[in-house]
């Protein structure tokens, strides 16, 4: 089954820039950006980010306010601060043996970096990979990672898989099945996340008097290190601890 998958990927795999590098920093950037954000949205931002900050040292030397502004529009802005903190931790070029020691790096992201940057025989299992393995009943090896990503994103879809063009369909016990919709993510419109994002955009333009702002959102952003208070003003952070 894996042979068929890899043959399909050789012909149909997506040409993504983070697949052309073994640089752990570049792969970390891609993995953090791709958390809960679609590939099409990430592509131009990933390229721009690496053009501006091509190394961990370059990012670590940046002003936190600039990092947050550059992240605007990708959502879940705390990821920007985690990426900034992680770059500070590896600015000397030393990556910890346990990558989960880096801010914002959980077991999945650590496994993804180990697989793609360090060529370690581990298979990171995200939603797509887990879905394919469950449906096919096959345990794929680490070398199939990128093929699994693409199959899950384009063919083995969550609700209505495209079994008619799937390279694994002939041997897949789940061929032709349809699935109930997964639990939808809570709506952004009218949510606290939207209030946080709106406040951060305001503060990114210029420092604002705290008394004029959504205080609950201010406190939440303060806890995440995305803003700081300078007397009565709320502004983007001058430094991140």
Every domain of the chain and the residues it spans: 1-12+123-182, 23-116, 192-235
Least confident of 77-91, 139-153, 184-198: 184-198
pTM of the shown model: 0.91
Which residues are registered as beta bridge partners of 165? Answer: none
User: Positive or negative, the Cα torsion across 98, 101, 105, 107?
Assistant: positive
Does 241 score more than 60 pLDDT?
Answer: no
Q: What is the pLDDT of residue 204?
A: 94
Q: What is the pLDDT of residue 43?
A: 97
- Per-residue pLDDT band at 184 (split at 50, 70, 90): low
pLDDT, mean of residues 47-52: 98
Q: What is the pLDDT of residue 232?
A: 96
What are the structure tokens assigned to 172, written together? 């897949």
CA atoms of 31 and 53, how far apart (whole Å): 16
Q: What is the pLDDT of residue 240?
A: 67
- Per-residue pLDDT band at 62 (split at 50, 70, 90): very high
Does 82 score more than 90 pLDDT?
Answer: yes
CATH for 1-12+123-182 is: 1.10.1670.10
The length of the chain is: 241
Q: What is the pLDDT of residue 92?
A: 81
Does 209 score more than 60 pLDDT?
Answer: yes
What whole-number percentage of the chain has pLDDT above 90?
A: 89
User: Positive or negative, the Cα torsion across 93, 98, 101, 103?
Assistant: positive
CATH topology of domain 23-116: Endonuclease III; domain 1 (1.10.340)
**Ramachandran angles phi, psi of 234, nearest 5°:** -110, 130
CA atoms of 240 and 63, how far apart (whole Å): 9
Positions marked active-site:
31
Q: What is the pLDDT of residue 183?
A: 64
């Amino acid at each position: 089954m894996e042979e068929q998958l890899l043959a399909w990927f050789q012909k149909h795999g997506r040409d993504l820039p983070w697949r052309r590098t073994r640089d752990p920093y570049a792969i970390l950037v891609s993995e953090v950006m791709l958390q809960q954000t679609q590939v099409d949205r990430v592509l131009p931002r990933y390229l721009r980010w690496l053009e501006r900050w091509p190394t961990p040292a370059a990012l670590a030397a940046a002003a936190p306010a600039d990092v947050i502004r550059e992240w605007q529009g990708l959502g879940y802005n705390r990821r920007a601060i985690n990426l900034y903190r992680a770059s500070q931790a590896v600015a000397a070029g030393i990556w910890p043996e346990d990558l989960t020691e880096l801010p914002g790096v959980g077991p999945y992201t650590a496994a993804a970096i180990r697989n793609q940057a360090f060529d370690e025989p581990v298979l990171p299992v995200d939603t797509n990979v887990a879905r394919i393995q469950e449906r096919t009943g096959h345990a794929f090896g680490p070398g199939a990672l990128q093929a699994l990503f693409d199959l899950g994103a384009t063919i083995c879809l969550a609700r209505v898989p495209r079994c008619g063009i799937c390279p694994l369909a002939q041997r897949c016990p789940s061929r032709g099945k349809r699935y109930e919709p997964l639990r939808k993510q809570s709506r952004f419109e009218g949510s606290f996340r939207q209030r946080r994002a709106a406040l951060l955009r305001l503060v990114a333009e210029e420092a604002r008097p705290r008394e004029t702002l959504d205080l609950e959102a201010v406190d939440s952003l303060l806890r995440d290190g995305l803003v700081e208070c300078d007397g009565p003003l709320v502004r983007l952070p001058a430094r991140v601890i």
